[in-house]
A and B are shown apart, each in its own frame.
Chain A
């Protein structure tokens, strides 16, 4: 079952949120150590940084995971563009699927 676009966006947003949380912690912690907490205090400044990075990353990761579809309809570089020695590496269809297709063809005959 191929996940829908919304499903993929949700997974991407969750993943991006987790990444953004970590990045925000690192970057926010660094800037706190370097420039001090400012007027709001340590916890509030760190929390603000973390929330904004989380929002940014989850938004862009959601967009990215929607457009990066892995399904068969994905636009791919045409195999003719590949150098000859690379063509064998570029499996377009997994071998198991090829076997299944062969089996179906044999059954039809």
Chain B
């Protein structure tokens, strides 16, 4: 995934906010469905809906918050990596995942932090590796084509 040419994402410091919000929405919506089903399943017969709503209201904002912390911190580190290294490659996000995992578990002590950081790094490495594999696999199908530039006179006033 080359993000340098990806204009659908906001540029760097601003992408932190949109990533944070998107992560929160992802966690809250996913958690809503997840805990809704779980609450309905764990309720006694006849009180499924109420149990679903109670569990959903209690848990899904928390999950959204957790996702948002992860996503926002990750995006912050990603932007910092881009700024420091002046490069955009998979190592940026792998390092960001490592750092995010480490920082979020920092209160558990160095051992816990290191294992959480390793998990974050592995997680992002898997995602980046898979996205490379997928883009290689589909590279033949949609090979980049030179866009045909329409012949246009420059707009007046320039």
A-to-B contact residues, CB < 8 Å: 15, 18-19, 22-23, 26-27, 59-60, 63-64, 67-68, 70, 74, 76-77, 81-83, 86, 89-92, 94, 96, 99-100, 102-103, 106
Contact = CB atoms under 8 A, between A and B. Distances in A.
A60 B130 contact: no
B34 interface: yes
The 5 closest A-B pairs by CB, nearest first: A63-B30, A64-B26, A70-B8, A91-B7, A103-B150
Contact of A102 (B13, B26, B122, B155): B155
A100 B34 contact: no
Nearest to A100: B150
Given A59-B30, A77-B18, A82-B14, 5 more contacts: A19-B127, A81-B14, A90-B10, A96-B147, A99-B150
Contacts of B147: 96
Given A23-B126, A77-B18, A86 B11 contact: yes
A26 B125 CA distance: 12
B11 A90 contact: yes
Label chain A's interface by main secondary structure: helix
Tier of interface size on chain B: 20 to 34
Interface of B, secondary structure class, is helix
B139 interface: no
Given A64-B22, A67-B25, A67-B29, A86 B14 contact: yes
Contact of A68 (B22, B127, B131, B153): B22
B126 A106 contact: no
24 contacts: A15-B130, A15-B131, A19-B123, A19-B130, A22-B126, A26-B126, A27-B119, A59-B30, A63-B33, A64-B22, A64-B30, A67-B29, A74-B8, A76-B10, A76-B18, A77-B10, A83-B13, A90-B11, A99-B150, A99-B152, A100-B150, A102-B155, A103-B151, A106-B153
Contacts of B22: 64, 67-68
Nearest to B115: A30
Contacts of A102: 152, 155
